[in-house]
Amino acid sequence: MNVLTWFERAAAHFPGETALEVDGTSLTYSELRELVERLAARLHAAGAPRRVGLLANRSVLACAGYLAVLRAGATVVPLNPQHPPERIRELVAKTGVELLLTEQSRARGEWKVPVLRAGTDEPFGRAREVSVGPDDIAYIICTSGSTGTPKAVPVSHGNVDAYLTEVAARYGIGPGSRVSGNFELTFDGSVHDMFITLGQGGTLVVPRGGALLSPVRTVNALRLTHWFSVPSLISFAERLGTLRPGAMPTLCCSIFGGEAVPMEALRSWKRAAPNSDVEVLYGPTELTIACTAYRLPREVSEWPSTPNGVAPIGECFSSSEFRVLDPSGRQATRGELCVRGLQRFPGYLDPADDAGRFAPGGWYRTGDLVTVEGGVLLHLGRTDQQVKVRGHRIELGEVEAVLRALPGVRDAIVLAVPTDGEPELAAAVGGDCDPGALQAGLRDRLPPYMLPRRITVLDRLPLNANGKLDRRALRTELEL
C-alpha cells in the first residue's frame, strides 16, 4: 500500500495530538495533514512531477514536504542543502529529478531543474487522489559508490510497508511518546523515525543539528521518550562526561544503528538511561532501513560477551531471509551476509551498479562479514573497502576517484584511520600538488563526512610485488 497511509490513519485517529515539533514550532496531526495536502496540491499544479528532489533539513518542510511528495504520488529524492552545489546537481541528474521542492531562495537556474519554493503558509488546496501500488518507488537514496560516483537506491512502497509492518508495534509508540528525529533525510533512519512515529500517534521531535553533539542535554531538554541514532553520539556524550548514572530518566527506548556498536558504549548509555530498553538495528539502504534487530536483556548482567566487543546484530526479520556464504558461494556459518525478501530493493537505478551485488536466487550481497552463534548474527567486518563514519556509508574508492580527477594528482589512496571515537579518513596522493588546494577541490565535490582529515603528498605511492598500490605499506610509512 501507499506508505502515506500509515500517517493518514494516525491523523484520522489522533487529529488533536501533537505530530511534529521543530525548533519551537509544533503542528498537530490535523495541522500537519492540512499542510501536506496544500503542498501536494501545489506539486500537482506544477505539473505532477514523477520524481521530486526535497532540498531541506531540520525544518517543518523536511517532514511535511516528504509526506506531500508521497501524497502527490511522486518519488522523494532527499537532498542535503549542506552538501556542495555540484554534488547536489550530480544527484539531481543521476536520479532523474523533475522538480526541486525547497524553502531556500537560491537562484532557480542553479539546479538545472524547475524549483518550487514552499513554506508553512501555503495557500489552501487539496491534492487529487493518486493511485500508488506496492511496486511504485517511494524514495531514492544515494549512497557512496566504489566506482567513483554515487549509487542511487530506489526503495518501493512495498519495501517500506513490509518494514513498518515488522517494527511498527515494536517500540510502544503512541500519543504522549516523544521520539527523536535525529537523522537527515538523506539517511534512511529518517524514514524509520518519521513513519514509526507518525504512523502511531507519537510526536516527532527534531533537534537542531548542533544539539546532537550533546545527546544527554538534548534528551532532557526535549523530554524525549524514544531515541534513535548512530552509536558515535554515545562517544560525544562520554567525552562531555554527561553519561552519569540516571542522567536520562525519561527514555524508555534507545535504538542504535548505522554502524557497528561497541558493547561498552551501550553499557555507558544504559547506566545513564536505566529505564530504557536498548536495541541494535542493522541493515543497508538496499534492504530498507533494517533487516535484523537485537534487543539486549533488561538486566545488564545478562548481556552477552562477544569475541570482538561489538553488539550482536540479532535475528533476521520475518519479512526477509538470510544466508551466510563463504568466498566460493557455499553456505557457511561464517562469511558474507546475503538477504532477500519483501524488504529487498528492486535493484539500483543504474543497472550497471547491480554487477556483483546479487548472488543466484535473488540474494543481495551486503558485503558484511558475519558469523552465527546460537541463532544470533554477529558482525565481524567488511569484505571490501567500505567504511562507516557517523553512520554514513563511504566507499574509499569514490573519494580516491575524486582525488585522481584533481590537477597534479597521479594516483591516490584513502584510508580509514581508527581513533578513540569514530574512524577518520586520511589520504595520500602521488604527484605535484598542494594539500590545501586538494582539500578545497574535494570540498567542492564531496559532502563533509567524506572529506579526509589530512592529505599527504608523496613523490610516489608504495606498490606491492604485483605492482598494485600497497595500503599496508602506506599505513606504515604514514605511521597510521
**What is the tens place of the pLDDT at every residue in 86-117?**
999 999 999 999 999 998 766 556 888 999 99
pLDDT at 12: 98
Model confidence pLDDT, tens digit, residues 147-158 = 678 999 999 999
Separation of alpha carbons 169 and 197, rounded Å:
10
Please, what sign has the CA dihedral across residues 396, 402, 404, 406?
negative
Separation of alpha carbons 282 and 479, rounded Å:
33
Model confidence pLDDT, tens digit, residues 24-80 = 899 999 999 999 999 999 999 999 999 999 999 899 999 999 999 999 999 999 999
- pLDDT surpasses 90 at 127: no
pLDDT at 344: 98
Ranking 95-109, 213-227, 404-418, 441-455 by mean pLDDT, the lowest is 95-109
Band the pLDDT of 354: cuts 50, 70, 90: very high
409-417 and 18-22: which strand pairing? unpaired
- Domain at 4-302, CATH class: alpha beta
Going from N- to C-terminal start, the domains of the chain cover: 4-302, 320-382, 387-477
State the pTM of this model: 0.89
Question: According to the 3-state scheme, what is the secondary structure of the chain?
Answer: CCCHHHHHHHHHHCCCCEEEEECCEEEEHHHHHHHHHHHHHHHHHCCCCCEEEEECCCCHHHHHHHHHHHHCCCEEEEECCCCCHHHHHHHHHHHCCCEEEECCCCCHHHHCCCEEECCCCCCCCCCCCCCCCCCCEEEEEEECCCCCCCEEEEEEHHHHHHHHHHHCCCCCCCCCCEEECCCCCCCCHHHHHHHHHHCCCCEEEECCHHHHHCHHHHHHHCCCCEEEECCHHHHHHHHHCCCCCCCCCCCCEEEECCCCCEHHHHHHHHHHCCCCEEEEEECCHHHCCCCEEEECCCCHHHCCCCCCCECCCEEECCCEEEEEECCCCCECCEEEEEEEECCCCCCCCCHHHHCCCEECCCEEEEEEEEEEECCEEEEEEECCCEEEECCEEEEHHHHHHHHHCCCCEEEEEEEEECCCCCCEEEEEEEECCCHHHHHHHHHCCCCHHHCCCEEEEECCCCECCCCCECHHHHHHHCCC
Band the pLDDT of 346: cuts 50, 70, 90: very high
Tell me which of 319 and 390 has the higher pLDDT: 319
pLDDT at 466: 61
Ranking 104-113, 133-142, 246-255, 432-441 by mean pLDDT, the lowest is 104-113
pLDDT at 276: 98
Q: How large is the average pLDDT for residues 221-244?
A: 93
pLDDT at 372: 93
Average model confidence (pLDDT) for the chain? 92
- pLDDT surpasses 60 at 338: yes
Ranking 178-192, 234-248, 307-321, 403-417 by mean pLDDT, the lowest is 403-417
Domain 387-477, architecture per CATH = 2-Layer Sandwich (3.30)
Model confidence pLDDT, tens digit, residues 275-299 = 999 999 999 999 999 999 999 999 9
pLDDT at 470: 74
Terminal Cα distance for the chain, rounded:
50
- The amino acid sitting at 451 is L
CB atoms within 10 A of CB 305: 6
Cβ-proximal residues to 52 (8 Å cutoff; 6+ apart), any chain = 43, 69, 72, 74, 75, 76, 77, 97, 98, 99, 100, 101
Cell numbers describing residue 180: 527523536
Please, what sign has the CA dihedral across residues 239, 240, 241, 243?
negative
Model confidence pLDDT, tens digit, residues 169-185 = 999 999 999 999 999 99
pLDDT at 412: 87
pLDDT at 477: 77
**Which CATH superfamily does the domain covering 320-382 fall into?**
Luciferase; Domain 3 (2.30.38.10)
Band the pLDDT of 430: cuts 50, 70, 90: confident
Separation of alpha carbons 205 and 268, rounded Å:
24
pLDDT at 420: 67
